[in-house]
Structure 1
Amino acid sequence: MFYGAAIALFACFALALIRAFAGPSVFDRVLALNMIGTKTILLIAVLGFATDRYDFIDIALVYAVLNLIGTVALLRFLTADKEAS
């Protein structure tokens, strides 16, 4: 069951990559990158449960914080660039 969930997450990765490359605006691309980060967190957690390595949850939590900080920083950079124009 866990490996089926991992395969479904890889399908979501593919859809997010399509949105990241074909997104009409920069904010669509940022949202797609955030979605890829979220799916990565879920994939780490699922693989941790599948292999009975529960310390992967700690790694997923650290990655979640980094994903949040990176997304907020990127959006602030992009909106500050638009306000300066």
Structure 2
Amino acid sequence: MIDYFLMIALTFLSLAILGCMYRLLKGPSIPDRIAALDTIGILLLSMVAILCVLLRTAAYLDIVLVIGILTFIGTTAFAHFIERGEVMEYGDDQSGS
């Protein structure tokens, strides 16, 4: 019975990803698109975690960690880009060289 509920959860998550894809493509502003991209990453992370439970394996938990890290880094980089207009800052380095 739990397999049935997990399949329903995967269906709802895939529908949510489709909704986020629409927002990603048609978003009225850049922050809306970034939020949609971040949400897609979290939904993919959730889908892989549910697949781990459904397949009764821990083999995909490393993938969950990688998706989580990449989602966080990507969202942080996009937010920094929106705030300052550049991802990497050069010059005025206090490293002493």
TM-score, normalised to structure 2's length?
0.78
**Mean alpha-carbon deviation: is it higher for 52-61 or for 68-77?**
52-61
Gapped runs of 5+ residues in structure 2? 87-97
**More helix, by proportion:** 1
Match for residue 5 of structure 1? Answer: 9
- SS of the residue corresponding to residue 53 of structure 1 reads coil
Identity of aligned residues (%): 29
Structure 1 alignment gaps of length 5 or more: none
The equivalent of 1:74 in structure 2 is 78
Letter in 2 for 1:12: A
- Deviation, 1:47, is 0.7
How many residue pairs get aligned? The number is 82
Moved over 2 A (4+): none
Matched residue, 2:66: 62
Which protein is bigger by CA-based radius of gyration?
2
| Letter of the structure 2 residue corresponding to residue 61 of structure 1 | L
Greater relative contact order (Cα 8 A, min sep 6): structure 1 or 2? 1
Structure 1 vs Structure 2 CA RMSD? 1.4
> TM (normalized to structure 1)?
0.88
Which residue matches 1:35? 39
